[in-house]
Amino acid sequence: MSAPAELDRLLGIMARLRDPLQGCPWDLQQDFASIAPYTIEEAYEVADAIDRGDLDDLCDELGDLLLQVVFHAQMASEQGAFAFADVARAISDKMQRRHPHVFAQVQVDGAEDVNLNWEAIKRAERAAKGESDTSALAGISRGLPEWQRALKLQSRAARVGFDWPGPAPVLDKVREELDEVAAEFARGPVQDNHARLEEELGDLLFVCANLARHAKVDVGAALRQANHKFERRFRAMEAQAAADGQHMAELDLQAQERLWALAKAAEAKP
């Protein structure tokens, strides 16, 4: 079947699931707020499939993500707010409007010019909506994961010149923030100093995100790799402990660190 036919089929399935008389009880109970976490989860699963290089799984996960768009559009349609066609038309209009170098006669010199034009067009769009916030930081969603929002805040500030000239001073700032975290830990029990520790750790994480930006390293991808590495090594530790007739929970920290060292050494072997 063609793409339009399959999309019509999906829209019909979603409408049937939400039918007040013959629909699915679970689907009928949902609203925008209850579905939003699933939408976010599906987006991350798309990213995971890409990270693993699994194109078959990527196809499946993109379908799950498309279902989320269709679900939200169906609920909006039931309220008379908008329909799926309005969603598709809005994004088509936006993409044409924000790519005048493709769909109009605007000339650009490389990707940086494209980015500058994109931001200028977004500012014009916000002004047309009557938004009065003219800050360089205007329009950055508060719904983003905080690490991603940190990067956007830093990038926007950098566009008006508020940025370190390179990674060296950012590294110095990381050390400074780390010292401040250590000083807060030294003050006494964690429970007595939670608010200050939260603030200082936040500063440290913010600067680490900035360091990744200067290194042109994607924070999400870097953290995913670190998570994968930890999970891989920890599972190897569990397997080794089981092979020795032991359980991880029965081992003291010294014995567990020995297993960690073995897992790292096994990965280092050619």
The mean predicted confidence, pLDDT, of the chain is: 92
What was the pLDDT predicted at 261? Answer: 95
Taking only the tens place, the pLDDT of each residue in 129-153 is 887 788 888 888 888 888 889 999 9
Q: Are 170 and 164 in contact (CB under 8 A)?
A: yes
Q: Are 82 and 59 in contact (CB under 8 A)?
A: no
Q: Are 129 and 122 in contact (CB under 8 A)?
A: no
Taking only the tens place, the pLDDT of each residue in 157-215 is 998 899 999 999 999 999 999 999 999 999 888 888 899 999 999 999 999 999 999 99
In angstroms, the first-to-last Cα distance of the chain is 48
Taking only the tens place, the pLDDT of each residue in 96-129 is 999 999 998 888 888 888 888 888 888 888 778 8
Radius of gyration from C-alpha coordinates of the chain: 25
What is the band of 1 on the pLDDT scale with cuts at 50, 70, 90? confident
Query: Among 206, 217, 119, which residue's Cα sits nearest to residue 154?
Result: 206
Predicted confidence (pLDDT) at residue 55 exceeds the cutoff of 90: yes
* Cα separation, 265 vs 86, whole angstroms: 56
Q: Are 127 and 140 in contact (CB under 8 A)?
A: no
* Alpha helix stretches (DSSP H) within 104-166: 111-128, 146-159
Q: Are 205 and 148 in contact (CB under 8 A)?
A: no
